[in-house]
Each structure stands twice: as C-alpha cells, then as structure tokens.
Amino acid sequence: MKHINLTKELMKLCSRNRDGSFATQAARRHILALSTKQLVEAGFHDFAPQNLKPKHIDTLLNQWQVLSPGTIKNRMAHLRWWAGKVGKINIMAKDNSSYGVPKRKYVTNLSKAKDLDQDKLAKIQDPLIRCSLELQRAFGLRREESLKFQPRYAVLGDKIRLKASWTKGGKYREIPIRNDYQNQVLKQALLLAKNGSLIPPDKSFIEHLKTYETLTNQAGLKKMHGLRHAYAQERYQELTQRLCPAAGGKSSHDFTKQEKTEDLKARLQISQELGHEREEVTAVYLGR
C-alpha cells in the first residue's frame, strides 16, 4: 500500500484552491500543516485529506483547549475549509458552540486608534508605500488591501470597491467616499498606480510587503492596524454625532432607546465597511 503524506496532500489542495487574500492563504497552510503534525502525534497515520472524520476534529479540539476562543475559532475556520474542499463539510457543526468553544470576547473600552504621524511618514522615501498608509487611514483598509489597491478599478462614483482577491477571507466590499482627504488620497493613488496597483510592476506582492515592513519599521510606524481603529471611531462619530465609548463617549448602559438604535445601525455600517460580518466585532474598535 502506498504511503500517504497528509501534509503534502493538503499543501497540494491549498495550491489548487487559492481562496482569499495572501495572508489568509498563508495562515491556512500554516494551520493545516500544524493540524497534520498534531494528528500524527495523536496516532493517526497514513490517511488522505478526503478521509477527514469527526474523530479527527475532536482530537484537534482536545489539543486546542488551552488556546483562546479567538484562536480556536480561526483554526476551526481552516478545518471547515478543508472539509468543504473534499466534500465533507457536513461532518462539522456550523456553530463552534456545539463543540464547547466559548464565544470570543471583543469588548474593550481602551482605544487603540492611531493617527498617521506625518513627520514619520515623511521619512519613507517610497511614494507607493506612503500612499498605501494614507489609504489605510482614509478608508480603514487592511495592509494587504492598501498594497494591492488598484484605483482605476476601485474608484466608482462616490465609493471605492475592493476586489475579493485583495481582502481577508475573499469578501468583496464597498466603502463610501465622504470627504476631501479621501479624494486627495485617491487622486495621489491614481497618479502613482496609473493602470496598475500600488505594487511596483517589477516586484511581487511578497517582495513589496517586505519593503513595506522594512521602511515602516525604520520610520517608527508600527502597529498600523490602529489606523483602522481611527477610521472606525471617526465614522461612528459621523453616523451618531457622538464619541464612541473607546474614545471617551458614554457607555451603552447609559444610552437612551433612540441612542441604542442609532448605535446598532452605526456599528452594522462600520462592520461592513471594515470587512467584518458581525456587529459584535466592532467592540474591538469602538468599545461598548
């Protein structure tokens, strides 16, 4: 009987199915390789990807119990991807709570918002990377989205469109253009990218990402995810005419009935603009 290398076969499966952004694909490969290693250590040898069974899921979950709910949730998403690609999605429950995984806690009233330091930004000599950082602040884009941004495609009337191939989880989304700052950033992006993206024609995404990481670190621009927090908090104030709890606004416990309605509506809108599916995720950015 021919020996089956599960890790090798799963990597082939990943290569044939490049769903989602580069970061998503890289995380998927890492978690599937780790899962394979843990299954082998648990005594499961020589089985093909299509032989995935509930007992394998349970074995992995038992080993992951020491991890945070958020980490387990992310790993389960990769296992569901595996199950779906081999036609066995029904062997897994749709809800993680069925496995005893507690819901992830998002609430924090400590603001992580960060504005773009113009003095530090000026230290970056590469105009493409400077523009990507401006896009992150102006539209709440993730790093990968801002690097792959193609203004000729993205700008459509009073909104921008993000291709599924640019985004985390492969989700197309739209974000409104609301102010002069955003228009200025888009004008600069169009000037730099022309008919392409904000990745130089002679570089791959990986190569340009390494340049981005090097130059931002040298300039002292770290934890730039805080730009998304700043965007979310700015949008909340626009939509509700109030500061969010993380920015010093009052707690939801003190809201009137009308304010609660406005709060929920704003959070749903912001969640969509940031590329999330659920309102509760906005507590990370806005507090509660």
Identify the domain boundary among 200, 218, 236.
218
Check residue 185 and give its pLDDT.
97
- pLDDT tens digits, one per residue of 103-118: 766 556 778 889 999 9
Give the number of domains in the chain.
Answer: 3
Residues 133 and 212 in one domain: yes
Query: Does residue 124 or residue 283 have the better pLDDT?
Result: 124
In the chain, pLDDT over 70 holds for what percent of residues? 97
Backbone angles phi, psi at 153, to 5 degrees: -85, -45
Whether residues 171 and 88 share a domain: the answer is: no
pLDDT for position 105: 62
111 lies in some domain: no
Flag whether 116 is in a domain. Answer: no
Fill in the amino acid letter for 30.
H
pTM of the model: 0.71
Position 106 in a domain: no
Instruction: Tell me how far apart the alpha carbons of residues 281 and 141 are, in angstroms, rounded to a whole number.
Output: 16
pLDDT tens-digit profile of 192-202?
A: 999 999 999 99
In a domain, 14, yes or no: yes
Residue 23 lies in a domain: yes
User: Rounded to the nearest 5°, which phi and psi values hold at 138?
Assistant: -70, -35
Range 1-30 average pLDDT: 83
Residues 214 and 231 in one domain: no
In a domain, 255, yes or no: yes
- Residues 10 and 85 reside in one and the same domain: yes
Grade residue 183 by pLDDT with cuts at 50, 70 and 90.
very high
Q: What is the pLDDT of residues 166-177, one digit of tens each?
A: 998 788 999 999
**Does residue 141 fall inside a structural domain?**
yes
Same domain, 35 and 17: yes
Does some domain include residue 21?
yes
Rounded Cα distance between 183 and 34, Å, is 44
Q: Which amino acid is at 281?
A: V
For range 126-134, the mean pLDDT: 97
**For position 182, what pLDDT does the model report?**
97
Average pLDDT score, the chain: 90
Same domain, residue pair 10 and 90: yes
pLDDT at residue 153 in the model: 97
74-86 residue pLDDT tens = 899 999 999 999 9
pLDDT score of 41: 87
Segments forming the whole domain that contains residue 249: 227-286
Instruction: Give the confidence band of 1 by pLDDT, cuts at 50, 70, 90.
Output: very low
